[in-house]
Amino acid sequence: GPALKIVTAAIIKQDNQILITRRKTGEKLPGFWEFPGGKIEDGETPQACLERELFEELGIRAKANDILAESIYTYDHGQIKLLGISIELIDQEIHLTVHDKFEWVPIGQLLNYKLAPADIPIAKKIQGMTNNV
């Protein structure tokens, strides 16, 4: 079958809240919330990919750090491996392009949102890492 696509997802945490963004109409998975990010291009490290995607999608400069969680998910159009990567924001001001909304959500409430299917295991792993913190 088609090769496994590797996709990065930004875990941006501030004051025990995580940034999620909602995909707008006309995009893949419209109306679903996700950790912002995107597909790795040839020769990119996951961190470089995510820094580029955050700049393209949200207009923010950021420093990508460690991979915190991984999930493999099979969509109709193929399998992806999602890497949840810890992000340090350099800019605070968000400008949406492929999303219509963003929210800072307490970690414990992430699953109350209609997350993209591949993002759900990442959300659960993050919650598990921060229990009782």
Task: Give pLDDT tens digits for 12-27.
Answer: 999 889 999 999 999 8
Distance CA 19, CA 24 (A): 16
pLDDT at 28 over 80: yes
Tell me what pLDDT residue 75 has. Answer: 83
∠ Cα 9 108 87 (to 5°):
30
The token duo for 36 is 């912002």
φ/ψ of 132, rounded to 5, equals 60, 20
Chain-centre distance for alpha carbon 57: 11
Query: Distances in Å between the alpha carbon of 113 and those of 59, 62, 70?
Result: 24, 25, 20
Task: Give pTM, 2 decimals.
Answer: 0.91
